[in-house]
Amino acid sequence: MASIGKLTDNQEMLKIFLIFTVLINCTVSVPADIPSLFSGLLNGLSKNCLTETYSFLTELREIETLQNSKFNNVDVLYDKDLMKSLFGDLKSISLSIKSSNCSSMIFAKYLLDGTVFIGDNIYGEAFNCLSKENLESLFMSCAREIILNNQSIDILEHLKPVSRCVAGKLACSKIDKNSFIGAVFAGVDLFDTFSNSRSILSQIKENKMKLEFNKEKYYSYLN
């Protein structure tokens, strides 16, 4: 661990949340070790799409190489400037993806836009309040209230209502609560999309699905 001292309980919970929300970014940032689900982006592509996708993966690789020495421990997740810099790099790559007709790039842009949205919300003004809250205690309390009252124990399935419960107990502004809710909800949706990548990529290729990240849907969950 870094020398910033022992993590407090609220930092531990924030760490868990941040690890979850950047999971997709960490996964796709290492093209040399693409997991089976993400490798689906390379299957059945035309020559042009394959070239475009490899170029995209190369850009991610460059970011991973640049940031690698700074991400040797989880404490960097509390370095607001460093994390904003990382999400800024991802945003630049996303903006460089124009109107691609390649299913792989449509899928990749959705993941990037969603990841950047999460970063903007967590590392914006809300971070100052969230880092001071006892999120671990609030999360565990809400999890007991919601998950134990349901037969299902799928944590991902209950993360949205649990996060809404947590937000309701935060001593933060309504704007900060909305940022927290929006980030968690978007993280769950991204993880779900990533987990079903093969099916979604197939639907995009067959023009049966239009995949775009819509940040507007996450803005007013507490209104």
DSSP string across 124-150: STHHHHHTTS-HHHHHHHHHHHHTTTS
Work out the angle at residue 189's Cα, subtended by the Cα atoms of residues 88 and 58, and round it to the nearest 5 degrees.
Answer: 40
For the segment 33-41, the average pLDDT, to the nearest whole number, is: 46
152 contacts: CB under 8 Å, gap ≥ 6: 158
Radius of gyration in angstroms for the set of CA atoms belonging to the chain, rounded to a whole number: 18
Mean pLDDT across the chain, nearest whole number? 74
200 contacts: CB under 8 Å, gap ≥ 6: 107, 193, 209, 211
Question: Lowest-confidence range among 73-82, 131-140, 213-222?
Answer: 73-82
Cα 116 to Cα 100: distance, rounded to the nearest angstrom = 19
Share of the chain above pLDDT 70, in %: 70
For 101-154, write each residue's pLDDT tens digit: 888 889 989 988 998 999 899 888 888 898 888 777 888 888 888 776 555 556
Q: Of residues 171 and 145, which shows the higher confidence score?
A: 171
pLDDT value of residue 75: 62
Question: Do the beta carbons of residue 129 and residue 144 sit within 8 Å?
Answer: no
pLDDT value of residue 213: 93
Half-sphere exposure of 215 (CA within 13 A, CB side): 15
pLDDT value of residue 117: 92
The answer, yes or no, to whether residue 2 has pLDDT greater than 60, is no
